[in-house]
Amino acid sequence: MITKQKIDSRFQELFNEQAALVAKSPGRINLIGEHTDYNEGFVLPTAIDKAIYVGVSKRNDNRISLFAEDFNEAHEISIDELAPSEKGWPNYILGVVNQFAIRDLPISGFSLYLDGDVPLGAGLSSSAAVECAVGFALNELFELGLNRVELAKIGQLTEHTYVGVNCGIMDQFASIMSKSGHVLKLDCRSLEVEYVPLELGEHEIVLLNTNVKHSLADSAYNKRRASCEKGVALVKEKYPEVNSLRDVSVAQLDELVAKVDADVYTKCKFVIEENERLIKACDALKNGNIDELGKQLFAAHAAISSEYEVSCKELDFLVDFAKNFDGVVGARMMGGGFGGCTINIVKKTALEEYVKSIAIAYKNKFGFELTPIFIQVGNGTELI
């Protein structure tokens, strides 16, 4: 377990001084609404009780001195010679500093220690949690006066500029804006947030980590994004008021995209219908209709697998198993795809048996372990 005492002790060991402050920023789940965020649609995420922790202190020079516990690796660079690192992990920190520099915010050298218990590669957005924890900690340390929305945007721009992933805003927003006991219905166009109570009654959420990450993930993400942009461009030729798939109807796709590019049509139609599924799921949650919520999760998985084509055989196997297990009301793949987790809504009385049965079936089928992740929903980024 990661505690403030543990971070303080490691910080002292590494940098020979005390951390001025420690911040934590959580990983996230997304109940439903996948690949909608970069299309100005809706998402339904919330923070979980697994987080990235950052200890920081000011230095007397212009050096940035970093240490990542997960990699057992240090990195140092002058703030005046800021540049992406080939190591990869420092870029989630340096990219945030670069965004501060672009805004002419007064920041000098600092020491930073990074640790966390968000499982890497599980689709729980450990990278966004790093960006938000770093941004939040440095904002406090240097008294920069940025608000949470600005810090979320800085995290997103870090991905675009220093990491090379053209991501939407959902992960950073969920990490920094979440409220315990609620999901955020986030409008990715206006950034308007509605906090919807997450009351599942006799049900519980469990994540099942496939422990696979197929190499298709990053290239497929950029390809899907390009398909969405092409669909918008085709519709915009006739309807100039259209700016994103949020403005497009299936009837317009039928009219202007279907005959030009069948694949682009299918990908765009998925996004439009995923927004509709999210609205239905949200209404079901507000009405306490957990069976209907689960139904939308199953429908979302079927569509993301066959239409958007970012699932994989391991994820499909888990959702098929869930469909046929009494006590599971809904399941789907969660995240960018090609690996990571499924999110499952399960009756508490069936949870133990379900996790045991599905793990055995998965091991028999694929030859490796399935890791259950039991989560509680929690608050967004905070000082500890």
Residues 116 and 129: their CA atoms lie apart, in Å, by 9
Q: Six-digit token pair at 97?
A: 């500093």
Is 126 labelled a binding residue? yes
User: What is the rounded CA–CA span in Å between residue 93 and residue 131?
Assistant: 6
68 annotated to a ligand binding site: no
- Cβ neighbours of residue 71 under 8 Å, at least 6 residues apart? 87, 89
331 annotated ligand-binding residue = no
**Residue 121, annotated ligand binder?**
yes
Residue 262 known to bind ligand: no
**Residues written for the chain:** 384
Rounded-to-10 torsion of CA 336, 337, 338, 341: 110
- C-alpha 178/C-alpha 211 separation (Å) is 26
In terms of DSSP H, where are the helices of the chain?
A: 4-15, 91-102, 126-141, 148-158, 170-177, 217-236, 250-256, 262-286, 290-306, 313-323, 351-366
In angstroms, the CA 128 to CA 135 distance is 10
The structure tokens listed for 276 are 């509709």
Report whether 255 belongs to an annotated binding site: no
Say how far apart CA 307 and CA 2 lie, in whole Å: 41
The distance in angstroms from the start CA to the end CA of the chain is 14
- Residue 106 in tokens: 């007064």
Catalytic residue among 49, 70, 117, 171: 171
According to DSSP, residue 159 is labeled I
Alpha-carbon distance of 124 to 132, in angstroms, equals: 14
Q: Is 36 annotated as a binding residue?
A: yes
Q: Is residue 69 a known part of a binding site?
A: no
H helix and E strand count, the chain: 11, 13
Q: Please answer whether residues 243 and 232 qualify as being in contact, where contact means their C-beta atoms are separated by less than 8 angstroms.
A: yes
Q: Clarify whether 247 is annotated catalytic.
A: no
CA-to-CA distance for 277 and 183, rounded, in angstroms? Answer: 16
Is 258 annotated as belonging to a binding site?
Answer: no
Binding site for substrate: residue ranges? Answer: 34-37, 221
Q: Which residues are annotated as a binding site?
A: 34-37, 121-127, 159, 221
Q: Which residues are catalytic?
A: 171
**Residues annotated in the binding site for Mg(2+), as ranges?**
127, 159
